[in-house]
Amino acid sequence: MTKKLLSLLFLSFLIISFGYQFMYTDLGTAHNISKIEDKMLIIVFSSPSCYYCKLFDKEVLTNKNVQEFLRGNYIIIKVEPSNYKTNFLGKTYTNNELFGAFGVRGTPTFVFLKGSGMVTQVPGYMPAEDFLKALRYLIRVTEENYKESFENYSKKNDDLKGKPKIVNITKENADYILKNDKNAEKVETLPKNIDIYKVYITSNQDVAQKLNEAGVIRVLLIK
């Protein structure tokens, strides 16, 4: 068996076992990344003993379309009850305290943040198709000021992949993203195979523009 095949089998095992390989566990880090990349942050309040939390991991986070849309448009973190400490908005919290800070009473609960402001909070399990519709709807709302209700929107077909954007960042922030975001890659020439859901970091204005025109959802341009 070749090393390449073994690597593919191992990656498949990780996806099946853990659902989504770009899930964060530290809120402070995930929040910083979301701000630098100008993406919405999803905090998934979960519990190891929660049946629907396990179902979400097994049935929703393994869905390819959900995974791609999350990778391109969101930063997502799972918070489970524990004494693990993180620094968030200048304060230190344990995971247990975060449940109280966000008023979470049951799991799973999904909290959506943009910058330092809350977009919405959604309690309860959603199947993959409904979850993906919700993800697309919230991008429409935050990026387009979309006004229609989710009830009406959910009856429509929408194949939105994301809103391609070039975000200017500092060298310091570029280093932070490369260290902490496994979905990020630094390029100074146009990649042969462009992945529109990957975060590309470059200091080349022309490369950034071409990636944007190719539909890459998030390009970070070092200024």
Residues 20 and 211: their CA atoms lie apart, in Å, by 25
The kind and range of the H/E element at 119 are strand 117-123
Residues 191 and 173: their CA atoms lie apart, in Å, by 22
Residues 188 and 186: their CA atoms lie apart, in Å, by 7
Domains and CATH numbers, the chain: 12-153 (3.40.30.10), 165-222 (no CATH)
Only one residue has tokens 């991008």, namely: 139
Residues 161 and 68: their CA atoms lie apart, in Å, by 9
Q: What is the pTM of this model?
A: 0.90
> pLDDT digit of tens for each residue in the chain (223 aa)?
555 544 444 444 444 445 689 999 999 999 999 999 999 999 999 999 999 999 999 999 999 999 999 999 999 999 999 999 999 999 999 999 999 999 999 999 999 999 999 999 999 999 999 999 999 999 999 999 999 999 999 999 999 999 999 999 999 999 999 999 999 999 999 999 999 999 999 999 999 999 999 999 999 999 9
Amino acid at 208: A
Which residues does 207 contact at the CB level (< 8 Å), separation at least 6?
187, 188, 189, 190
Rg of the chain in Å (alpha carbons): 18
